[in-house]
């Protein structure tokens, strides 16, 4: 049912796609060899409401063929996009895994942008269970900066995905010696769910809404970027953060505004675009990037 639900939501979020009625959606399900009765469609709509906090209604026009589905934004959870994007990510992993197990994947028709094996995904189910039931977990974990694994007891509060890599976020604890403990799943060597329970100390989901990457270090800032003509249409059609606002073009730059956390991943994202993106505000980031560019120039002159 997840695939059928996501397909319908994709259609509703598409600005140029012809919208489904109950009849045309049922025809799609039938053509795709899925159950397509009226009761099935009702179950899909209820599933979307329960899983995505998204309320889909049909416009009442008096004619069944023109009662198109639409999203009732007022009745839906403001954060339904978060649930929807997470489900799409999990569905992709599920599809890939199913085909891999059946040996249907061939290098001739699927290309992955990197060869990382997504190590650590076998811990996802246990970590989700621990987060849901608020149980501590014990990890054997080897960071990139350690020669040997160390044992940590953490209070897991959130799973975070960034650039196809998964992290478990934990409550802050003095003994962890981190401003915000975050552990990459592919660095975990062993995991055990403990009987001890804990209490979540803050709303981590809200905190991450303003965060690029996995790190919660740094303050939330107003960021204004200047983007070249060459890249501006990509920014307009593929927003990299929900807070993105287009402020129009001034001089040579298209201006985009964001409300984001200042951290390492944000700077890496900005630098990724090279000469096509410039920080207009705040001034301290402009200076930091300028200093780094000066050091890079020195490296190339050696």
Residue that has been written with the tokens 């109950």 in this structure: 22
- Residue 32 in any domain: the answer is yes
Domain boundary among 185, 207, 229: 207
| Percent of the chain residues topping a pLDDT of 90 | 32
- What one-character-per-residue DSSP string does 55-78 give? -EEE---SSGGG--EEE-TTTS-T
In the prediction, which pLDDT does 110 show?
A: 56
Based on the domain organization, do 189 and 227 belong to the same domain?
no
- Residue 114 in any domain: the answer is no
User: pLDDT-derived band of residue 163, with 50, 70 and 90 as boundaries?
Assistant: confident
Alpha-helical runs (H) found in the chain: 2-13, 22-31, 38-52, 80-101, 124-133, 204-208, 229-237, 264-272, 283-301
Q: Which of 1, 97, 11, 103 is nearest to 49 (CA)?
A: 1
Based on the domain organization, do 203 and 240 belong to the same domain?
no
Based on the domain organization, do 231 and 203 belong to the same domain?
no
- Residue 278 in any domain: the answer is yes
Domain boundary among 28, 59, 82: 82
Based on the domain organization, do 193 and 140 belong to the same domain?
yes
What DSSP element (H or E) covers 96? Answer: helix 80-101
- Residue 235 in any domain: the answer is yes
Average pLDDT, the chain: 84
- Cα separation, 289 vs 66, in Å, equals 54
The whole domain housing 18 covers 2-82
Based on the domain organization, do 129 and 191 belong to the same domain?
yes
Domain boundary among 173, 190, 207: 207
Based on the domain organization, do 228 and 189 belong to the same domain?
no
In the prediction, which pLDDT does 65 show?
A: 66
User: pLDDT-derived band of residue 117, with 50, 70 and 90 as boundaries?
Assistant: low
- Residue 40 in any domain: the answer is yes
For residue 69, the domain's CATH number is 1.10.10
For residue 148, the domain's CATH number is 2.30.30
On the question of pLDDT at 93 being above 70, the answer is: no
DSSP state of 18: P
- Residue 272 in any domain: the answer is yes
- Residue 111 in any domain: the answer is no
Based on the domain organization, do 223 and 173 belong to the same domain?
no
> What is the pTM for the complete model shown?
0.65
Extract the tokens encoding 297: 């120039």
Based on the domain organization, do 266 and 295 belong to the same domain?
yes
- Residue 191 in any domain: the answer is yes
Based on the domain organization, do 12 and 76 belong to the same domain?
yes
| Number of structural domains found in the chain | 3
Based on the domain organization, do 41 and 14 belong to the same domain?
yes
Per-residue pLDDT reduced to its tens digit, 255-286 = 999 999 999 999 999 998 999 999 999 999 99
Per-residue pLDDT reduced to its tens digit, 36-52 = 898 999 999 998 888 88
């Amino acid at each position: 049912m997840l695939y059928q639900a996501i397909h319908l939501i994709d259609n509703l979020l598409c600005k140029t796609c012809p919208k489904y009625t109950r009849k045309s959606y049922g025809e799609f399900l039938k053509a795709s060899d899925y159950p397509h009765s009226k009761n099935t469609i009702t179950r899909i709509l209820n599933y979307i409401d329960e899983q995505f906090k998204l309320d889909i209604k049909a416009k009442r026009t008096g004619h069944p063929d023109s009662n198109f589905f639409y999203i009732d934004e007022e009745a839906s959870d403001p954060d339904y996009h978060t649930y929807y994007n997470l489900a799409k990510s999990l569905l992709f992993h599920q599809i890939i895994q199913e085909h891999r197990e059946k040996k249907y994947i061939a290098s001739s028709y699927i290309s992955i942008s990197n060869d990382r094996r997504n190590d650590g995904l076998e811990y996802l189910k246990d970590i989700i269970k621990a987060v849901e039931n608020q149980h501590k977990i014990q990890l054997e974990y080897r960071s990139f900066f350690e020669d040997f694994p160390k044992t940590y007891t953490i209070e897991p509060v959130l799973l975070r995905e960034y650039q196809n890599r998964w992290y478990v976020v934990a409550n802050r604890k003095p003994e962890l010696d981190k401003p915000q403990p975050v552990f990459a799943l592919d660095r975990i060597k062993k995991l055990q769910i403990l009987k001890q329970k804990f209490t979540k100390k803050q709303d981590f989901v809200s905190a991450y809404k303003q965060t690029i990457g996995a790190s919660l270090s740094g303050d939330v800032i107003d960021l204004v970027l200047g983007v070249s003509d060459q890249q501006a249409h990509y920014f307009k059609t593929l927003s990299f953060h929900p807070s993105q606002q287009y402020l129009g073009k001034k001089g040579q730059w298209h201006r985009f505004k964001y409300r984001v956390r200042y951290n390492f991943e944000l700077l890496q994202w900005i630098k990724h675009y090279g000469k096509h993106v410039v920080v207009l505000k705040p001034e301290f980031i402009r200076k930091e990037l300028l200093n780094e560019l000066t050091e890079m120039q020195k490296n190339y002159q050696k």
